[in-house]
Amino acid sequence: MKNDLRKSLLVVAGSVATILASAGLAAIIALPASATQQFATDTGKSCGACHQSATGGGALTPYGEKFKANGDKAP
């Protein structure tokens, strides 16, 4: 009986550890994209202020190039 409980606890602990590691990895991977999106949120500017595409991503406008060259801070 004790061995069954111990095995069950190990399975649960392993599952929780896997979920937490996966969530942490997902957060780390998502960080680069959130910086410029956060800028748009903070300033009220659209993604098209920095990107040639109004939906964001891809080639940058001259303002976007300045923003990037300035360490992702408003020029």
DSSP assigned state of 60: B
Q: Which domain holds residue 58?
A: 2-69
Task: Let me know if residue 75 belongs to a domain.
Answer: no
Mean pLDDT of 51-71: 87
Residue 35: pLDDT band by 50, 70, 90 thresholds? low
pTM of full prediction above 0.85: no
| CB atoms near residue 9 (< 10 Å) | 10
Task: Let me know if residue 22 belongs to a domain.
Answer: yes
Which pLDDT score is estimated for 27? Answer: 63
Distance, CA of 5 to CA of 21 (rounded, Å) = 24
Q: Looking at the 3D structure of the chain, how many domains does it have?
A: 1
Position 64 pLDDT exceeds 80: yes
Task: Let me know if residue 39 belongs to a domain.
Answer: yes
Which pLDDT score is estimated for 49? Answer: 86
Task: Let me know if residue 74 belongs to a domain.
Answer: no
